[in-house]
Structure 1
Amino acid sequence: MEIRPEQPGDAEAIRRTTKIAFASMKHSSQTEAQIVDALRNAEALTISLVAIEDGDVVGHIAFSPVTIDGKDCGWYGLGPLSVTPSRQKHGIGGALVREGLSRLANIDAKGCVVLGDPDYYKRFGFDNDPGLVLDGVPARYFMRLVLNGGAVLSGRVDYHEGFNAT
């Protein structure tokens, strides 16, 4: 498996991978592929990585800026993360998360937030923080990871408007 930055010709494969990865997930809004497209169109994909096996995109991860209480604090949101169903539970998602977080650290990001399964994301160092709030989301599923000696912040987190894609 190879992990590399998204290239211009990858958009359709990313869209397809994202759609099938979330198709059977009951918590999904089924808009994840549209979110990635909206972030790409807004040039808000700070980091967009693909996992390639035998020349095919089998996974994708996106990182985009978030604001905390309306301010850019050097923090990013992880997501969506998608892996083709037949390749899930083979370490592809984990490899994408680790590589993405490493690249965030390399651009001097101060932190990262994620909305997802705590049992999955805690293995990468994410933890719940009652001081950071994502409106309408149970605190258990919203986590943060401080990077590069960034301060632990508190406030309301807002993702890029591309997350409102429908």
Structure 2
Amino acid sequence: MQDERIDRFDRKILALLQADARLTNNDLSERVNLSPSQCSRRRQRLEEEGFIAGYRATLDRERLGFSLVSVVSVTLATHNRDNARRFADLISRLPEVQEAHALTGEMDYYLKVVTPDLKALSRFVNEELLPHDSVQHVKTAIVLETLKETGALPL
């Protein structure tokens, strides 16, 4: 990340907030060695300039009943803008989809999907994805173990 608008103090603030967004300006001040008011101004600027896109709570997926994680690859029926837009519209309406990535290569999209169980995954694939007119082929793999899962950037 080479952006002249952020310095080592900004990077440190970003790294700390990425690990714990609940840190106060006093907390940041102690860790970054700047005054709370300087930390407040820097945080506000980082928010306004879009370096901090938002704050959120990380929920426990399993405790909330979403114990099954699957990786679903999708190939579109036709490769044109309208079909890709229809597929994107479908994905945006499906809360089970945590991530969706357009790819190069053999498959067109990679989806990370969470469901309570196999029955719910089957319903998702057979009633949501496969019947959609933009979709030609779906391939599903169930995650056995997650070795690493983070949205943290390597600051």
State TM-score, norm by structure 1: 0.26
Higher gyration radius (CA): 2
State TM-score, norm by structure 2: 0.28
